[in-house]
């Protein structure tokens, strides 16, 4: 294929310069065949028109690409900061959830441990039967638990259950909110995957363009740097095609002129040029006004030519006729190249649009999330924090109450065992008192008998000599001593469940103290009789608890 410069230059230069007569004048049929071939070559106007359309469309595509690229870049920079902020918010919400879950779990463990201790103590109270000697004879057996009011424990359990349920509800709502948040993030990640896919596809298209066009960017990245070079290449091809078409038009004019100056060729020229190819009579921007040139040549009057001028014209025509086909082929090759470059331009435009669409999709997801859902997710996290702080205070108070109840009931167990030991101690003291009383009673009886014997002897020896009115008491018997048992009343600071101390209640012994055994019931105080094994078990339990605390 001859180059555009050589082909167009050949067809134009030979029309301007004369050549010596080197060949015989062709016959009219030969000239008419060249005219028909020149007429067919003018159909290349369609390629030139297509070239003009491609250049116009490429300019528009480049402008559109610049706008889309700028908008996409702006959105992408904004999306990066928004995504960082979004993931920071999600991390913060997740941290609140994890921290609350851990604190709640620890609180539940503490509650379970405290409740287990309390229940264990209550079970011990249920298992510990109050010894029958402490209770009235006609009463059914009772345990220590029968003396405990569990309503406080039940109310505390209900309060703790309410706090746990409320916290669980708030946590479930937060988990649901976080799950919805994660679903939104997955949707955004899917949109980001689409964005990355579109970017990779665009990069691959640019890389393909780089390998097939020297004007494309060598980096293989999706930029607009290659499109201006492509547009310049298209404009160059279009301009060259227009120049080539002008050379074909001049060649056609030369053929028309030659036929008309040949004898018998006027009518043939008018017949051949009567139906020009479609589009030949149309002109536009960047296009030669072919129609006007051809019409002017067809309708122009013939100028007389000398034989040498005619011969020169025919020689140029014959030479150019051999090269006209090459010019047509070059136009076809250039329009083919332009179509290929235009496909690359459109591919890059489509790649930009694909990336822009993917970027807008991510932005739409973020905008929807930020405007409608994100405030709710954040509010749910704040709500959980508020509820947990409130219920955590209640649970802490409940833990303190559970610990206090455990201490109270555990103290009750210790007190009962101590009571058994206290009964043993009092029994021992009572035995000592009884011994003292018996010893004293015995000594008083001896003194009484000795005094009676002495008085009786005095009466026998001296009674006849003493007048009875000298001392009224001389004839009286010795005094007798009786022990009076009185109730001890209440100690200072009455024990739990006891009433205020009453006045002491006294009772005299009617029987003679010499023969009457001291009775507990007579003094209003009953000390239970406890088996030795009961005392030993109570002592062992107290010792074990003391060692456990130590």
**Which one is predicted more confidently, 208 or 380?**
380
> What is the average per-residue pLDDT within 401-424?
91
The answer to whether the Cα torsion of 417, 421, 426, 431 is positive or negative is: positive
Q: How far is CA 426 from CA 69, 135, 241, in A?
A: 102, 17, 132
pLDDT tens-place string over residues 209-218: 544 443 333 3
CA distance 310 to 415: 147
Residue 408: CA count within 13 A, CB half-sphere: 14
pLDDT tens-place string over residues 89-117: 888 888 988 888 899 999 999 999 999 99
CB-based contacts of 468, cutoff 8 Å, min separation 6: 474, 475
CA distance 156 to 150: 10
Q: Say if pTM beats, i.e. exceeds, 0.75.
A: no
> What is the average per-residue pLDDT within 182-199?
82
Top mean pLDDT of 147-151, 245-249, 389-393 is at 389-393
Q: Do 157 and 174 meet the contact criterion of CB atoms below 8 Å apart?
A: no
Write out the two tokens for 420. 């058994």
Give residue 327's pLDDT: 87
Q: Do 34 and 206 meet the contact criterion of CB atoms below 8 Å apart?
A: no
> What is the average per-residue pLDDT within 375-404?
91
CA distance 38 to 223: 44
Q: Which of 518, 524, 521 is nearest to 489 (CA)?
A: 524
Q: What is the DSSP string of 268-333?
A: HHHHHTTSPPTTTT---TTS--HHHHHHHHHHSPPPP--HHHHHHHHHHHHHHHHHHHHHHHHHHH
Does position 443 have pLDDT exceeding 50, yes or no? yes
pLDDT tens-place string over residues 134-162: 888 888 899 999 988 888 889 999 999 99
Q: Within its chain, how far is the Cα of 185 from the centroid?
A: 7
485 in helix, strand or coil? strand
Give residue 387's pLDDT: 93
Categorize the per-residue pLDDT at 299 as very low, low, confident or very high, splitting at 50, 70 and 90: low
516 phi and psi angles, rounded to 5 deg: -85, 125
Q: What is the mean pLDDT of the chain?
A: 78
Give residue 291's pLDDT: 52
Does position 312 have pLDDT exceeding 80, yes or no? no
Does position 8 have pLDDT exceeding 70, yes or no? no
Q: Which of 494, 500, 503 is nearest to 524 (CA)?
A: 503
Q: How far is CA 267 from CA 251, 270, 301, 342, 377, in A?
A: 19, 5, 14, 44, 90
Give residue 386's pLDDT: 92
CA angle 516, 519, 523 (to 5 degrees): 120
pLDDT tens-place string over residues 347-360: 888 888 888 888 88
Give residue 549's pLDDT: 63
What is the percent of the chain where pLDDT is above 70? Answer: 77
């Amino acid at each position: 294929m001859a180059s555009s410069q050589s082909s167009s230059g050949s067809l134009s230069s030979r029309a301007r310069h004369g050549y010596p007569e080197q060949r015989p004048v062709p016959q009219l049929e030969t000239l008419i065949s060249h005219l028909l071939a020149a007429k067919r070559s003018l159909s290349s106007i369609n390629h030139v028109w297509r070239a003009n359309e491609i250049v116009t469309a490429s300019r528009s595509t480049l402008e559109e690409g610049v706008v889309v690229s700028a908008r996409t870049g702006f959105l992408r920079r904004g999306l990066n900061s928004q995504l960082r902020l979004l993931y920071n918010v999600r991390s913060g919400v997740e941290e609140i959830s994890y921290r609350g879950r851990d604190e709640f779990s620890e609180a539940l463990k503490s509650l379970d441990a405290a409740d287990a201790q309390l229940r264990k103590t209550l079970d011990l109270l249920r298992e510990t039967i109050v010894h029958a000697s402490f209770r009235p004879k006609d009463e059914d057996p009772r345990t220590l638990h029968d003396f405990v009011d569990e309503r406080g424990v039940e109310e505390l359990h209900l309060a703790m259950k309410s706090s746990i349920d409320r916290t669980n509800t708030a946590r479930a709502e937060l988990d649901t909110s976080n799950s919805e948040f994660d679903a939104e993030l997955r949707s955004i990640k899917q949109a980001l995957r689409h964005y990355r896919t579109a970017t990779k596809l665009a990069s691959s298209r640019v890389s393909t363009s780089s390998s097939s066009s020297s004007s494309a960017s060598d980096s293989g990245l999706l930029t607009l740097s290659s499109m201006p070079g492509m547009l310049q290449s298209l404009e160059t091809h279009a301009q060259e095609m227009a120049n080539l078409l002008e050379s074909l038009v001049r060649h056609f004019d030369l053929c028309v002129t030659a036929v008309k100056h040949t004898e018998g060729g006027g009518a043939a020229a008018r017949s051949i040029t009567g139906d020009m190819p479609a589009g030949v009579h149309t002109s536009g921007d960047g296009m030669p006004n072919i129609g006007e040139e051809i019409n002017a040549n067809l309708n122009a009057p013939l100028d007389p030519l000398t034989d040498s001028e005619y011969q020169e014209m025919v020689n140029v025509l014959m030479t150019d006729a051999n090269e006209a086909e090459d010019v047509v082929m070059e136009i076809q090759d250039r329009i083919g190249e332009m179509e290929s470059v235009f496909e690359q331009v459109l591919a890059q435009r489509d790649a930009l649009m694909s990336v822009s669409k993917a970027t807008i999709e991510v932005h739409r997801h973020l905008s929807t999330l930020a405007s409608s859902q994100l405030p709710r997710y954040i509010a749910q996290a704040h709500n959980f924090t508020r509820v947990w702080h409130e219920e955590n205070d209640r649970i802490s108070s409940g833990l303190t109450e559970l610990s206090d109840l455990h201490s109270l009931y555990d103290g009750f167990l210790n007190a009962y065992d101590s009571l058994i030991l206290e009964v043993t101690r009092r029994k021992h003291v009572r035995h000592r008192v009884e011994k003292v009383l018996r010893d004293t009673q015995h000594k008083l009886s001896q003194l009484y008998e000795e005094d009676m014997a002495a008085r009786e002897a005095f009466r026998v020896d001296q009674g006849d000599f003493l007048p009875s009115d000298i001392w009224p008491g001389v004839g009286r018997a010795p005094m007798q001593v009786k022990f009076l048992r009185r109730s001890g009343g209440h100690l200072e600071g009455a024990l739990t469940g006891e009433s205020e101390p009453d006045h002491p209640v006294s009772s005299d012994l009617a029987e003679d103290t010499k023969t009457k055994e001291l009775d507990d019931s007579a003094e209003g105080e009953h000390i239970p009789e406890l088996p030795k094994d009961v005392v030993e078990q109570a002592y062992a339990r107290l010792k074990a608890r003391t060692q456990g605390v130590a």
